[in-house]
Amino acid sequence: MGKFYCLAASNLKETLDKFYACTNLPAYAVNYDGIVFYSKGAAQRHIHELEMNKVIDLAYNQFANSNTTSHVVISINKQEYVACYICQKDIKQGVLVFGPYNPRPFDCIPYLITLLRNIQEDSLHKRMQITCQAKTYSLHVQKALSYLARNYNKPLTLESMARHLKINKCYFAAILKEETGETFSNTLNKIRVERSKELLKQENYSILDVALSVGFSNQNYFSTIFKRMTNMTPSEYRQKMEAS
């Protein structure tokens, strides 16, 4: 299954702020009704142009005609913008729009989208770094926690982690347990469960989609681990979030 990208409302602002800081490209979040509900670095006239020219319709038409869910280029009043879905799994959440920008090679655009998605994925990694800094861990454990936060959705094992760190497997297992109080599998599963909580808030993700997206190989094992760590099933957690 391909990887879905979905910006939760809680980190949309942070993601767009960082993207603007990196690129100096004005950024807009546009809802399904075509209204700009957040912008960074944008002139008021550009916000007005996007809304008056129904950028949401232009973007969806472009996506429909180009058979892509990655990004499209939109021309408005002889100015170009790039648009991508806020959530590839639920296109009715709206689009992110960047621009206007000076003409540049068309093959540069995918790199901008990759940067956006990397900033999005980096949020969990940053939270793990803060946790590491608040505690005193050895260099190997710090590197391991940082690596797990970035690669939690990959098929990781104690053996592969030790190879990555270039240390003995038993030694790594021992220092990880001593410093964190957790085994390798528990450490990895905690990160995966925390990430899954964000995806469970997106109602159009099935439980299986969430399980596979965060690195679990099947839904039953994911549900077992999730309940062990939260005292509720993924479905119960989703219902709780919907009710809150």
Question: In this predicted model, what pLDDT tens digit does every residue of 134-184 receive, in sequence order?
Answer: 567 888 998 999 899 888 989 999 999 999 999 999 999 999 999 889 999
Cβ 62 vs Cβ 83: under 8 Å:
yes
What does the block give as tokens for 124? 């969990």
Cβ 7 vs Cβ 116: under 8 Å:
no
CATH number for 135-243: choose from 3.20.20.210, 1.10.10.60, 3.30.200.20, 1.10.3720.10.
Answer: 1.10.10.60
Q: How far is 142 from 120, CA to CA, in rounded Å?
A: 22
- Per-residue pLDDT tens for 203-213? 778 999 999 99
CATH of domain 9-117: 3.30.450.30
pLDDT of residue 160: 96
| Category of 182 on φ-ψ map: left (φ > 0), alpha (ψ -120 to 50) or beta | beta
What does the block give as tokens for 20? 């603007």
Instruction: Supply the pTM of this predicted model.
Output: 0.52
Q: Using the Cα atoms of residue 109, residue 1, residue 123 and residue 132 in order, give the sign of their dihedral.
A: negative
- Looking at the predicted structure, is the pLDDT value of residue 133 above 60? no
**Helix ranges, 53-138 (H):** 55-66, 109-134
Greatest mean pLDDT range, 55-69, 82-96, 128-142, 201-215: 201-215
Q: How far is 121 from 125, CA to CA, in rounded Å?
A: 7
pLDDT of residue 174: 95
pLDDT of residue 106: 62
- Per-residue pLDDT tens for 8-39? 555 778 888 888 888 888 888 888 788 888 88
**Contacting residues for 119 by C-beta, under 8 A, at least 6 apart:** 15, 18, 19, 22
Q: How far is 15 from 77, CA to CA, in rounded Å?
A: 27
Q: Could you give the angle at the alpha carbon of 33 between the alpha carbons of 32 and 34, nearest 5°?
A: 90
Residue the block writes with tokens 């090679």: 105
Residue the block writes with tokens 């910006």: 7
Residue the block writes with tokens 């950024």: 27
| Category of 94 on φ-ψ map: left (φ > 0), alpha (ψ -120 to 50) or beta | left
Domain ranges of the chain: 9-117, 135-243
What does the block give as tokens for 47? 């916000």
- For the ranges 86-95, 127-136, 177-186, the lowest mean pLDDT is seen at 127-136
